[in-house]
Structure 1
Amino acid sequence: MVELKPRDVMQIIIGSTILALPVAYTEEAWKLGEELPLLNVGFLSMISLVFIALFVFFNFYRFNIKGHVFNYIKRVIATYLISIVVVAVLLTIIQRCPWETDFMLAIKRIIVVAFPASMSATISDVLK
């Protein structure tokens, strides 16, 4: 399984929701988004991408990466971006993304909550 199919996208959406929900409802995550410097949030985003890339590589592409590098990169980026969108929608619905007043705070909160959400999205993508 190396192609990203609609079923995989749906699994990523559901998977990211699994951990996005409990984390997004915690005040600790909101405050962490407020207090963390932008550099640290950037590192958190990079760590998320590295974890996703490693997990996807070892579960899907380890023995057949040749000819599938584009699909590998697409799956890693899609998993992270879908997780970001799921978290952004959720935080916006519960009014914890102040888009109009503090755009950077909204982005930081999304990235903080997207870390566990992207991990659960990656794991759920493995399920058949």
Structure 2
Amino acid sequence: MKGFPTSADIYLELDGRKIAVVQSYRAKAAKSSKNIEAFGESEPVATIEGQKSYTVELTRLYATDTAISDGIDFYNLTDFSLVICKPDRKVIYSGCEWSGIQEDGELNATVAERVTLTAARRIETTA
């Protein structure tokens, strides 16, 4: 069994290649639901599960050397994945699109301070 996750264990992936490592993340999942009402009933008779949505806030992204040499730009990323390796499993957020990017620092820095992304899917696999 592996130890505690490090920044090398949290990364962005595009077309099977690691393009950035991430220092930390905060994930939020939400799910809509709908009540089913029946005529004459004072309360809903059932609740139906709706769509799930995943929002993840990443802190301190460092572009990999390969991504830099390939000219990958965080602002042009689309349909990428976030991979989080935990001691007993791997969590993958796929179909990601960014919704916010905050940069602080020096000119031409390869670091994005905070990126907020929305993922289409979340899956867990055993490590």
Q: Which has the higher strand share?
A: 2
Q: TM-score range by the shorter chain?
A: under 0.3
TM-score by structure 1 length? Answer: 0.24
Decide which structure has the larger Cα Rg and report it: 2
TM-score for the superposition, normalised by structure 2: 0.24
Using CA pairs under 8 Å that are at least 6 residues apart, name the structure with larger relative contact order, 1 or 2.
1
